[in-house]
Amino acid sequence: MPESPEDAQDFSEDDSEDLEALLLHVYHINPIILNLTFDKIASILRASQKYGFESIGDAARASFQELYPSDPFAEFANWKRTEEAALLSVKYFIEPTIKPLLYTLITEVGLGLDENEDPNAPINDQPLPRHKEDTDLQINANIVDRCRYGFHKITQAFTPSLFQPTNSDILAGRWSDLVVIPALQHSWASMPIQALREIRKIDWAAEGVCGTCCLQKDEDWKKEAEEFWEQLDDLLQLPDYKKSNVFRG
């Protein structure tokens, strides 16, 4: 049972700040909709969960999703405090944000990656299971482990289409210089959404590709990004989070 504010004792400074944010929202002094900052949303998420304010928790979840949308065309590189956000998304099972945050930690932060490890080495083990009673430390360990696992799975899945594409003669002739070399320089094999975004930015018409072909290839690469985004559910073993029955923490 969630405890009531009247009965709560031994507050930490963080607990007090969370409760203050919750009360300011309840009394319409500083509602969450007018203050979509990470700290404000995180405080209300924690306090609403602790004290059983379900509808307020739902509002905080919706605001959290605005900060970290599940969109393959989002600017992941511009997201802030993604490690803290990933902890909250898993702990409180804000399902739409789990995939984009884990993907961002893998591709933009490099969480859990070993530079000396072969990204194409076979991965037979499964990521650590998630349990409802996990502590924050255990959740963070699970996230790091899942990022490491996901990095290998993503790289193995995307490498063939990046380095062995099926293209027209003109496209294939320029693919090595315009795609393969940047891919090797910037580790595109492990960041497919960003890689496809960069490939779409190339002025293929200037390279001799006909206008109709350029439009078709752009649509193909956009569709490939969308399909890979859906594939991430399995590559990151996201169904495991549902099986762990972590709804509402």
Question: What confidence score (pLDDT) does residue 159 get?
Answer: 94
Which of 88, 82, 175 lies closest to 74 in space, CA to CA?
Answer: 82
Query: Tokens 């209300």 — which residue?
Result: 44
Residue 20 lies in a domain: yes
Residue 145 lies in a domain: no
- Residue numbers of the domain that contains 205: 161-227
Residue 83 lies in a domain: no
Contact between 69 and 100 under an 8 Å Cβ cutoff? The reply is yes
Question: What confidence score (pLDDT) does residue 249 get?
Answer: 39
* Boundary (domain end) residue, out of 67, 84, 114: 67
Residue 97 lies in a domain: no
Contact between 15 and 215 under an 8 Å Cβ cutoff? The reply is no
Residue 209 lies in a domain: yes
Cα–Cα distance for residue pair 142/134, rounded to 1 Å: 9
Residue 139 lies in a domain: no
Q: pTM for this one?
A: 0.84
Question: What confidence score (pLDDT) does residue 246 get?
Answer: 45
Question: What confidence score (pLDDT) does residue 66 get?
Answer: 93
Residue 25 lies in a domain: yes
Residue 207 lies in a domain: yes
* Number of domains observed in the structure of the chain: 2
* Boundary (domain end) residue, out of 35, 67, 99: 67
Cα–Cα distance for residue pair 180/182, rounded to 1 Å: 6
Question: What confidence score (pLDDT) does residue 120 get?
Answer: 58
Per-residue pLDDT of the chain (249 residues; tens, 9 = 90+): 444 444 444 545 567 677 666 666 554 555 665 567 899 899 989 888 888 888 888 999 999 999 999 999 999 999 999 999 999 999 999 999 999 999 999 999 998 776 666 655 656 567 767 777 789 999 999 999 999 999 999 999 999 989 887 666 778 788 999 999 999 999 999 999 999 999 999 999 999 889 999 999 999 999 999 999 999 999 998 887 766 644 443
Question: What confidence score (pLDDT) does residue 6 get?
Answer: 47
| Residues of the chain by 3-state class (helix, strand, coil), percent to 5 | 65, 0, 35
Q: Show Cβ contacts of residue 90 under 8 Å, excluding neighbours closer than 6 positions.
A: 98, 130, 139, 142, 143, 241, 246
